[in-house]
Amino acid sequence: MSEVRVHNFTVSLDGYATGEGQSLESPFGHAGGRLMEWFFGTRTFREMHGEGGGTGVDERFACDWNADVGAEIMGRHKFGPQRGPWTDEQWQGWWGDNPPFHTPVFVLTHHPRPSIEMKGGTTFHFVDASPARALAMATEAADGRDVRIGGGPTTVRQFLAADLVDRMHIAVAPLFLGRGVRLWDGLEGLEQRFAIEPVTSPSGVTHLSFTRR
Amino acid sequence: MSEVRVHNFTVSLDGYATGEGQSLESPFGHAGGRLMEWFFGTRTFREMHGEGGGTGVDERFACDWNADVGAEIMGRHKFGPQRGPWTDEQWQGWWGDNPPFHTPVFVLTHHPRPSIEMKGGTTFHFVDASPARALAMATEAADGRDVRIGGGPTTVRQFLAADLVDRMHIAVAPLFLGRGVRLWDGLEGLEQRFAIEPVTSPSGVTHLSFTRR
Ligand SMILES: NC(=O)c1ccc[n+]([C@@H]2O[C@H](COP(=O)([O-])OP(=O)(O)OC[C@H]3O[C@@H](n4cnc5c(N)ncnc54)[C@H](OP(=O)(O)O)[C@@H]3O)[C@@H](O)[C@H]2O)c1
Ligand SMILES: NC(=O)c1ccc[n+]([C@@H]2O[C@H](COP(=O)([O-])OP(=O)(O)OC[C@H]3O[C@@H](n4cnc5c(N)ncnc54)[C@H](OP(=O)(O)O)[C@@H]3O)[C@@H](O)[C@H]2O)c1
């Protein structure tokens, strides 16, 4: 059975998965790169840039993100900083011409636009759809492989609320962002649907594994 | 130097330190006893009831709460479920006639009332004061020993905001309460003032040690 997965998704100790004030220069707003610092040290991240990196606990979690994934679903604010109707369609995401996904990616938006085929196998599709419908499309595109819910928090939260996630890796970073978008709002009783296993890392991050009961 | 300490203070993964709807029957509102389950198994808790208990990681944290503490400061909602002016002054707290504090306890309230001397050395004083002023009183009463900030979240948050806490033990329980009173609101940048060390326990709780930098 193919699974619906969340990986390397990071929240601050006070629950924010992104800061306030996203812009072209700062995809995470006032949070900057701080949330993902644990990830930047891992081999998984550094190999994307042709370098070596850590192979410890953080890497054990980081490296799992892409294995057997056949499609991703992301929210429009993960794709870019634009709001409202597209004023031009030049923007192709934060990742350059060869994005790290290498699969179909379904971007949830109330403002659909034509699909974009990138180098390396990534195609962005823009869909105005409920979580369940978007998942049906992604599942078909994944062709037997798993579907990753890529974020941001608004998107992950929707899929959790609709009970569509099978397993999830959340990293809790020892930071207090104070403002931004929270992941956990409105998820009372989530522990009844998931076994939750915390593991700490020398980086100061606590990795939480959620496995559907 | 005497220290200002927080111990065994527990929040859910979504950040709540108490549920909604506190009443005489349920001090933690809809959260019930779930937040403190890790604590109920420890020797520290069970010895208060004449029984044995766990001596592992949870106990290592639990047992530290009272050593060298000469006074506690608590908020009025930790003391009782009443709101507004006292309608009678019969209420003497949740803990029976011999409360577990055995020191002066300063209860923050906008509705002061006469002090209550209990068995076993606990005296409740009711004070309408800023965190700094309440701490000055408690420090004097503690007579060289430490002062514990006992909760609830509204009270701990005030002392953190005023930068009056030296060390703090927060337990994060694998629960999603969804509603209640959050601990972490408005504490952006707290990691700059504290070194934060997480440790997980087989109970599923993550213990966070905050030490002033
Ligand atoms: N912490 C992490 O690990 C992590 C991971 C990924 C991303 N991020 C960060 O998270 C931030 C983005 O998160 P976010 O919560 O602000 O937004 P998001 O989840 O990326 O996107 C939300 C937006 O997507 C569109 N959308 C979402 N669901 C939809 C649906 N069912 N139907 C139609 N449109 C839908 C809406 O935009 P429109 O109405 O404008 O179309 C909505 O405002 C970015 O800063 C990103 O860098 C963090
Ligand atoms: N999770 C844990 O480890 C833990 C630990 C302890 C307690 N708790 C729970 O936490 C809950 C209580 O927390 P809470 O945040 O609701 O309230 P709280 O902090 O116990 O008390 C807040 C109240 O105390 C009074 N107060 C606070 N600061 C004051 C000041 N500077 N000057 C004057 N009055 C002040 C005000 O009441 P008035 O205006 O009415 O006087 C205020 O509404 C209870 O459910 C308790 O069981 C949890």
Quote the pLDDT of residue A188: 98
Quote the pLDDT of residue B94: 96
pLDDT category of residue A1 using cuts at 50, 70 and 90: confident
What is the distance in A from the centroid of ligand 1 to the CA of A80? 9
Q: Which of A26, A77, A79, A111 to mutate to test the pocket of ligand 1 (most atoms within 8 A of CB)?
A: A77
Please list the alpha-helical segments (H only) found in B48-203: 57-62, 76-79, 131-142, 153-161
Q: State pTM to two decimals.
A: 0.96
Quote the pLDDT of residue A202: 96
Q: Which of B16, B35, B78, B127 to mutate to test the pocket of ligand 2 (most atoms within 8 A of CB)?
A: B78
CA-wise closest residue to A17 among A65, A82, A77: A77
Q: Mean pLDDT in chain B?
A: 97
Residue with tokens 């699974």: A3
Enumerate residues 22 to 51 of chain B having a beta carbon within 8 A of any beta carbon in chain A: none
Contacts of B186 in chain A (CB under 8 A): 178
Q: Whose CA is nearest to atom 9 of ligand 2?
A: B152
pLDDT category of residue A191 using cuts at 50, 70 and 90: very high
**Which helix (H) or strand (E) covers residue B199, if one does?**
strand B194-200
What is the distance in A from the centroid of ligand 2 to the CA of B84? 13
Q: Which residues contact A191 (CB under 8 A, 6 or more apart)?
A: B13, B174, B175, B176
Contacts of B163 in chain A (CB under 8 A): none
What is the distance in A from the centroid of ligand 2 to the CA of A141? 52
Q: Whose CA is nearest to atom 36 of ligand 2?
A: B109
Cα–Cα distance, A170 to A197 (Å, whole number): 10
Cα–Cα distance, A62 to A48 (Å, whole number): 12
Which of A165, A168, A176 has the highest number of chain B CBs within 10 A, making it the mutation to test binding with B?
A: A176
Quote the pLDDT of residue A185: 97
What phi-psi label fits residue B178: left (phi over 0), alpha (psi between -120 and 50 degrees) or beta? left
Please list the alpha-helical segments (H only) found in B41-118: 43-47, 57-62, 76-79
Q: Whose CA is nearest to atom 44 of ligand 2?
A: B78
CA-based diameter of chain B, in Å? Answer: 45
Chain A interface includes B67 (CB < 8 A): no
The domains of chain B are located at 4-83+97-212
Residue A202 C-alpha, separation from nearest chain B C-alpha, in angstroms: 9
CB contact under 8 A, B196 and A15: no
Q: Mean pLDDT in chain A?
A: 97
Strand partners for B117: B123
Per-residue pLDDT tens over the stretch A142-189 = 999 999 999 999 999 999 999 999 999 999 999 999 999 999 999 999
CATH number of the domain located at residue range(s) A4-83+97-212 in this protein: 3.40.430.10
Ligand 1 pocket member A22 (CB < 6 A): yes
Is the predicted pLDDT of residue B21 greater than 90, yes or no? Answer: yes
Cα–Cα distance, B177 to A59 (Å, whole number): 31
pLDDT category of residue A130 using cuts at 50, 70 and 90: very high
Q: Which residues contact B101 (CB under 8 A, 6 or more apart)?
A: B72, B95, B121, B122
Quote the pLDDT of residue B45: 96
CB contact under 8 A, B188 and A197: no
Quote the pLDDT of residue B55: 94
Which of B188, B190, B196, B201 has the highest number of chain A CBs within 10 A, making it the mutation to test binding with A?
A: B188
Please list the alpha-helical segments (H only) found in A63-167: 76-79, 131-142, 153-161
Which of B13, B30, B156 has the highest number of chain A CBs within 10 A, making it the mutation to test binding with A?
A: B13
Q: Which atom of ligand 2 is the closest one to the Cα of B83?
A: 40
Residue A86 C-alpha, separation from nearest chain B C-alpha, in angstroms: 33
Contacts of B189 in chain A (CB under 8 A): 176, 178
Mean pLDDT of A193-212: 98
Per-residue pLDDT tens over the stretch B47-78 = 988 899 999 999 999 999 999 999 999 999 99
Cα angle: A185, vertex A4, A50; to 5 degrees: 100
Q: Which ligand is nearest to the CA of B27?
A: 2
Q: Provide, rounded to the nearest whole percent, the portion of chain A with pLDDT above 90.
A: 97
What is the secondary structure of B68-86 as a DSSP string? TEEEEEEEHHHH-S--SS-
Chain A interface includes B179 (CB < 8 A): yes
Contacts of A15 in chain B (CB under 8 A): 14-15, 184
Quote the pLDDT of residue B1: 84
Contacts of B175 in chain A (CB under 8 A): 191
pLDDT category of residue B165 using cuts at 50, 70 and 90: very high
Cα–Cα distance, B136 to B71 (Å, whole number): 11
Quote the pLDDT of residue B195: 98
Mean pLDDT of A192-212: 98
What is the secondary structure of A144-212 as a DSSP string? TSEEEEEE-HHHHHHHHHTT--SEEEEEEES----SSEES-TT-TTGGGTEEEEEEE-TTS-EEEEEEE
